[in-house]
Each structure stands twice: as C-alpha cells, then as structure tokens.
Structure 1
Amino acid sequence: MTHNFDVIVIGAGGVGSAVAYYLAQRQQRVLVLEQFELNHKLGSSYGYSRVIRYAYDNPIYIELMRSAYPLWFALQEEAGESLLIKTGQLDLGLPHTRSLKELAESMEAAKIAYERLNAQEIQQRFPQFQLPPQMEALYQADTGILKASQCVLSHLRLAKKYGAVICENTAVTEIHVQSDHVEIKTSQDRYFADKLVLTAGSWSKQILAQMGVDLPLTIMPCQFGFFAAQNPEDFQPGKFPVFLAHWLDDAGEFPYGLPICEHSGVKISTFYGWETVDDVKAVDYTPSDIWIEKLRKFIAQYIPGANGELLETRRCLYTMTPDKDFIIDFLPQHHHVLVAAGFSGHGFKFTTLVGSILADLAMRGTTEHEIGLFNLSRFL
C-alpha cells in the first residue's frame, strides 16, 4: 500500500465517512484511519436512527439543512439503499413555552412551512398521544429518520469504490504537523499527506491536546431506550411522528422520541440532563436503570401505548461545545489541518453536508456554505 496521500482522515464515524466519500469522489487520494472496527458502538454514529429536520431555532442551521437534504437524497440514490424515511415532527408544548415560540419564529423567517395544532387536533391526527387540553404543537412534515449506521457504511463503501483506503482497528499513535505536510504514525506503519482532517468525535479533545490545542469539549454519555409498542403498527413511520416535548424544558432535558425503525421498537430519550466528563477514558457505558424508570413515567403518562418491554438500551456519546454549536475550521497556524468536532446531540443530520464542506476546505481552502458560526477562534 502506498504511504503518501492527498488527505488523511482520522475517524470513520458520521463526519469522517462523509468527508472520505466526497474527497474520493473528487479524485483525491484518501486514507481513513479508524481506531475501532467500522460501525462500532463506542462513539456517536452507530444505531438504527437519527432525526433529520428543518425545525431549528437558528436560521443558519435551517439554511444548512436546505443544502443537506439534497445531498442525502443523492447519496441514497447512488448507494441504492433506503437511507431516509419521512415521518413528520411534532414539537409539543404549552402556548407560553419560550423554545416553542422561538422555533416558530425561526421557521417563519426562513419560510419553512409548518402547522400549528391544538390538543384536539393532535389527538385526532396522532391518537398515540395522551395530552392535557392546553397542549399545542408545531408540526413540520419534512422531518424524517436517517438510518445512521447504514448512512455511515454507505459513505464508506462508496468512498472505497472511488479509491479511498480505509483502515479499521488502526489507532493513531503520533501526529507530526510539518510546515507543508503531516506525518501520521500507527502501531504498524507511518503515512504522509498534504492535508489532515480530524473527525475523531469524543476522542478529538485528547488528540488535539497532543497537538497543543486545548478545546472545551465535554462528553455526555446519553442513553437511548427502545420500547415495545402494544400495537406496533400504530408506531410505524407515517403513523407516528418524531416528537420533542418542549413543555419540560424547564428541567433542561427535552424528552423526544422516534417511530419504529428496522424493528427496533419506539426510541425514547432526552436531549440533555446527563452528567458530562472531560476525558473519553472516563466514560461509563453502563446503562442506568434509574433513568429507564424515570423515562417510563413520562411514557406511561403521555404515550401509554409505547410503554411495553424494554427491547434495548445503550449509551451513545455526545461530544459538546459550550455553546452547542459545531466546530468546523482549520487549526491556528496550520492551514493544512482541519478539525470537525462538537456535533453530538444534533449533528448527524448534517454529516453528509459537513463532509462536502470539509472536502471543499481541504481542496480549495474555502466553501460556499455559511460556516462562520463554527469558527475555532471562539474558544481560543
């Protein structure tokens, strides 16, 4: 195998797999180094499903989604696989709920079509919910499910078809950044490239620290639960939407759920409310029984038909920036080293677009997309 490449990508998760695909598609010589097996369960990108949606309270993310949706459809067509399932989304809350109001204002400003439903209308359309009479919702029809693991593997398979070299179970031991190239060492070999793209997820902070860059990234080991439904046909895409419960936002947790995907059960979790750690080595992957019981109270009260057997539960690592916005930028003093980090919690839907953006930056140094919000300088 050659040891000289145009670009080396470290990390083969959602973003790393996507940038490998776009670089290889654009005839770049690409090497991908993944420390674990492909599609492993220890990071952020494994699983049956992630949400894809326009519904954001920040117009920058909405504009990025306008570009991301067509890329997902194009990937789906080239891969010859079903990667995106349309479901629609309910953002549920009380009339005075601040986050719901901000979401509506943002979608209106961006001219994203949505419906405002009262509790009776919600109940008529989606009888799976059992809601108080004062409840209301915003319904956005374009929301859907991305088959997360399948998306990652499709990116990688197509990248390989275009000539990318993908090495799994290959941990990076040393990174040497020279003035015009990088040298990467593993336990068995060393490689050289003109550009380096770091997409290592929860391992980014430690890797960057070795390069003299200290970023305030924290890791939140969130837990998913997949619950058996009393009548599974009622919780299929098309009948049961993605939902987000804004009326509990004072607790800072935001319960949310997804319909059944790949026979997985109804997926229920919370966006926030977890303790964070600074070092990925300190992550405890053990599921919490206390959290499951707390979640069951929510399900029993509001979605009783989904309160069946716990089919599966596991931890997924969210890598967070302090402002919860992404990092997509060159390293200071090193304009041939790119870092993409801090996506967890809401980043998977953007991964194919971010991969394209990183390919733009690696090849041209610029991109047509608005990414000023994601500058590294805000933390340095």
Structure 2
Amino acid sequence: MNTQPTCDILILGGGIMGAATAEAVARRGQRVLLIEQFAPGHTQGSSHGDGRIFRFAYPQAIYVQMMLLARPAWAELGERAGHPLIQVTGGWDCGPVGSPVLASLETNFQRYGLPYERLSAMESKRRFPHFHLDRGSEALYQPDAGVVFATPAVLALWRLAQASGAATITGERVVAVEAHGELITVRGASGAHWSAPRLVITAGSWARGLLSEQLGLDLPLTPTQEQVAYFPPADDLDHRLGAMPVFIDHHTPDHPFYGLPQIETPGVKVGWHRTGPAVDPDARPPASEALFAELQRLTRQRLPHLRLTPVEQVTCLYTNTPDEHFILDRHPDLSNVIIGAGFSGHGFKFAPAIGHILAALALDEPSPLPLDTFSLRRFMQ
C-alpha cells in the first residue's frame, strides 16, 4: 500500500463538527481532506434539521466561555456564507422556585456580565404567554440566546471549507485506519485509501467503533436515538421565530424538556433530552410511541396554546459520554490522532469554537480554551 501523504490532515466525519474543523484547518492554509460516509447535511446522524438552540444558560462556566467564542464566530461565518446562520430569540429557562440549576445559571450570568431577568410565574405569563407555569415555579430570561439553522449551517461550512481549498469525499465509509510510522492511512469500503501525518476523528455515533476496532481505544460513548415532535399552534398566539424564545424546562433536571419556535416546519419543535434508547447507529428502531406520549404530556403541561397532533416527528442520534462533557483530545498512544466526540446532544451550538479547538490540537497550536474538562484522562483513572 502506498503510504505517501495525500494531504496534511484527514478528517473522518462531515457533520457539523467535521465540517467546522475542515473549514478552520483549510483557512490556516493546510491541505485537508474531509471524508463523509453519507452526503453533506444528511439525516442519518446528529447534525440535521431546521434548528438547534444556542444559549449562554449553562451551569458550567466552561460552556459559557465556549459560547462567548462561538457566538461571534457564527455571525462571521454567516457573513462569509452570504446568509445568516443564527437568529436571536432570547432564551427562557424555568424550574421550581429555589432550583439549584436556575441558581447556577444566574451565577454565571452575573459572572460573565450577561443580561437576564428573573420572572415569577405571573410575570412570565404576562411576558411569554406561550408558556404555563404553576405557582411555585419561576423562569430566567436571557435575551442573547437563539437558534442556529442546523442543516443550512452544515452546508455553509462545507462550502466555506471547499472555498478555502479543502478536498471532500462523500459516500465513502471508512473500514480501516492504520498507523504507519508518522503517517495515518485510512481505507474506504471502495478500496481507495488516503494518508496524512494527522487524523481528526469527528465521526459522531460511529466514533466508538472506529476507535475501538481500528485504533485500540475503547471509549464510553453510547449512541442513543432521540425523538422530537413539531406541534402546531391551536389558536392565534404567534409561535414563530422572532415571536417566541427558545426554552428549557428544568423541572426534571436530569432530562430537561426543551423546544424551539417555528422555523421551517409549521410547528414548535419539542424534545426531552437524553431519554431515547441506546442504539446501533446502523440498525435504528422505529420511533417510540411511549416517548411520543411523554412529549405530548409535557407539551400539554407547559405549552397550552399548541395542538397535540404533530405535523412531524423526527429521530436523531446523540453520542453520549457518562458525564455529558465532550471529548476534545489526542489519542493517548497516537498523538497525531485527534478526537472530537461525545457531544451528548448539546454540542452543535459550539461548532465554530470546537472546529478551532480541534484545528489547534491537530496543528500543535495553543487551544483558545482550557481543555481539562474534555480530556480523555477522566475515563482512564
């Protein structure tokens, strides 16, 4: 097998993280090859759909810091793409009065100088009649949150990466990854192969298999199939983008209920975080009727102006770590293999920042953020 380098950096997986990394690396003047087993913007993984929430409302300070990097980067990418990739809607987070989650969000808003309002149940109803809160609950409103246009963002990053010189291959599943001295060689199902001094793996729910079977590294990455539904308005209250904030309900803090206003699909998108079953990404089951019933129940409870007959139901994949923190690190035995994985259903919003972080790891540059939270060491102690 010829092991002469094909490029400077190979990237496996062209969802939002791989596309963002390819764009960041190509803009640095590196020869990059992005390999995707499906097509750009495909619906088989975690990066498709009309929208994702972006927010500063995090209990952990590191994610606020990451969002402070990602937010202006989204705006800059939109300018270069020729169309907006985000829209500010404001963000509404609710929970019981005295909720430790809301308290930690408020602490970080104050720490980073982010504007917000604390609203009683009655105050929330007057400001945001879309939502129902019982007495004993309250909300925080942070005006800088909003929506990332998901599939358009993926496609824009592919175009921008290609415009900066990135080469791309689609419809090619990688079946082998081999280390040859200072080079990494990957081989596709077609028999074609490519080599580079550095490899970045952003393969989503397929990352665990690649790393374990090909590179001897078994990480606790669990793919799950999550389910969302789009419920249409039942009356004249405007639920469209610009009239309604994104929301997260922390009454069930381990599995928050969340949603986005109407974007393209004529309904409010709702989901229940990390409640789907563990799955093989290549053999996914049909949507769960039981989970759909729970989405109806939660919608009935929190969103009284919506009909409970959905206009659409969609499934997608999460790739979860046990602590829901990402993996942004080097392979412990192969320092020229970079891993971006385990985004646990909340990574999309950070894609431009993560693309720069993975590019920095691949090119031995300083990271724009401390990466201790995302180190592999936490799984090897």
Common fold by TM > 0.5: yes
Q: CA deviation at 1:352?
A: 1.2
Deviations 1:173-203 (A, max 9, x none): 2111123111111123111111100000000
Deviations 1:1-30 (A, max 9, x none): x97100010000010000111111111111
- Structure-1 residue corresponding to 2:88: 86
- Structure-1 residue corresponding to 2:327: 327
Q: CA deviation at 1:165?
A: 1.1
For residues 344 and 259 of structure 2, the distance between their equivalents in structure 1, rounded to whole angstroms, comes to: 17
Against the structure 1 CA distance between its residues 318 and 139, is the aligned structure 2 distance closer, same or farther, given a 3 Å change threshold? same
- Structure-2 residue corresponding to 1:138: 140
- Structure-1 residue corresponding to 2:114: 112
Q: CA deviation at 1:264?
A: 4.1
- Structure-2 residue corresponding to 1:190: 193
The answer to whether structure 1 residue 202 and structure 2 residue 205 are counterparts is yes
Q: CA deviation at 1:117?
A: 0.5
Moved more, 223-232 or 34-43: 223-232
Deviations 1:89-123 (A, max 9, x none): 11111112222222222322333221100111111
Deviations 1:39-92 (A, max 9, x none): 111110011100111110001111111111111111000001121011111111
Opposite residue 179 of structure 2, the aligned amino acid is: V
- Structure-2 residue corresponding to 1:65: 67
For residues 232 and 322 of structure 1, the distance between their equivalents in structure 2, rounded to whole angstroms, comes to: 43
For residues 162 and 151 of structure 2, the distance between their equivalents in structure 1, rounded to whole angstroms, comes to: 17
Opposite residue 338 of structure 1, the aligned amino acid is: I
- Structure-2 residue corresponding to 1:102: 104
Q: Structure 1 vs Structure 2: percent identity of aligned residues? A: 38
Structure 1 contact 222–316 (Cα < 8 Å) conserved? yes
Deviations 1:336-364 (A, max 9, x none): 11000011311001111111111122123
- Structure-2 residue corresponding to 1:259: 261
Deviations 1:198-230 (A, max 9, x none): 000000000001210010111121101011112
The answer to whether structure 1 residue 227 and structure 2 residue 228 are counterparts is no
Against the structure 1 CA distance between its residues 231 and 75, is the aligned structure 2 distance closer, same or farther, given a 3 Å change threshold? farther
Any idea what SS the aligned residue of 1:213 has?
coil
For residues 72 and 48 of structure 1, the distance between their equivalents in structure 2, rounded to whole angstroms, comes to: 16
Structure 1 contact 317–344 (Cα < 8 Å) conserved? no
Any idea what SS the aligned residue of 1:304 has?
coil
Structure 2 contact 40–158 (Cα < 8 Å) conserved? no
- Structure-2 residue corresponding to 1:35: 37
- Unpaired runs of 5+ in structure 1? none
- Structure-1 residue corresponding to 2:157: 155
Against the structure 1 CA distance between its residues 232 and 328, is the aligned structure 2 distance closer, same or farther, given a 3 Å change threshold? farther
Any idea what SS the aligned residue of 1:364 has?
coil
Structure 1 contact 227–306 (Cα < 8 Å) conserved? yes
For residues 88 and 315 of structure 2, the distance between their equivalents in structure 1, rounded to whole angstroms, comes to: 26
Q: CA deviation at 1:243?
A: 1.0
Q: CA deviation at 1:365?
A: 4.3
For residues 133 and 212 of structure 1, the distance between their equivalents in structure 2, rounded to whole angstroms, comes to: 54
Q: CA deviation at 1:232?
A: 6.7
Moved more, 349-358 or 106-115: 106-115
Moved more, 364-373 or 221-230: 364-373
Opposite residue 334 of structure 2, the aligned amino acid is: H
Moved more, 26-35 or 294-303: 294-303
Q: CA deviation at 1:298?
A: 2.0
Against the structure 1 CA distance between its residues 346 and 326, is the aligned structure 2 distance closer, same or farther, given a 3 Å change threshold? same
For residues 137 and 332 of structure 2, the distance between their equivalents in structure 1, rounded to whole angstroms, comes to: 48
The answer to whether structure 1 residue 291 and structure 2 residue 291 are counterparts is yes
Opposite residue 196 of structure 2, the aligned amino acid is: A
Moved more, 179-188 or 327-336: 179-188
Against the structure 1 CA distance between its residues 233 and 18, is the aligned structure 2 distance closer, same or farther, given a 3 Å change threshold? farther
- Structure-2 residue corresponding to 1:300: 300
- Structure-2 residue corresponding to 1:216: 220
Opposite residue 194 of structure 1, the aligned amino acid is: P
Opposite residue 255 of structure 1, the aligned amino acid is: F
The answer to whether structure 1 residue 375 and structure 2 residue 375 are counterparts is yes
Deviations 1:257-293 (A, max 9, x none): 110112341001111233324x434532x11222222
Structure 1 contact 126–239 (Cα < 8 Å) conserved? no
Structure 2 contact 75–84 (Cα < 8 Å) conserved? no
Structure 1 contact 4–192 (Cα < 8 Å) conserved? yes
> What is the aligned length?
375
For residues 108 and 134 of structure 1, the distance between their equivalents in structure 2, rounded to whole angstroms, comes to: 24
For residues 203 and 19 of structure 1, the distance between their equivalents in structure 2, rounded to whole angstroms, comes to: 17
Structure 2 contact 321–344 (Cα < 8 Å) conserved? no
Any idea what SS the aligned residue of 2:123 has?
helix
Which of 268, 273, 278 is the aligned partner of 1:271?
273
Moved more, 199-208 or 342-351: 342-351
- Structure-1 residue corresponding to 2:127: 125
Structure 1 contact 226–313 (Cα < 8 Å) conserved? yes
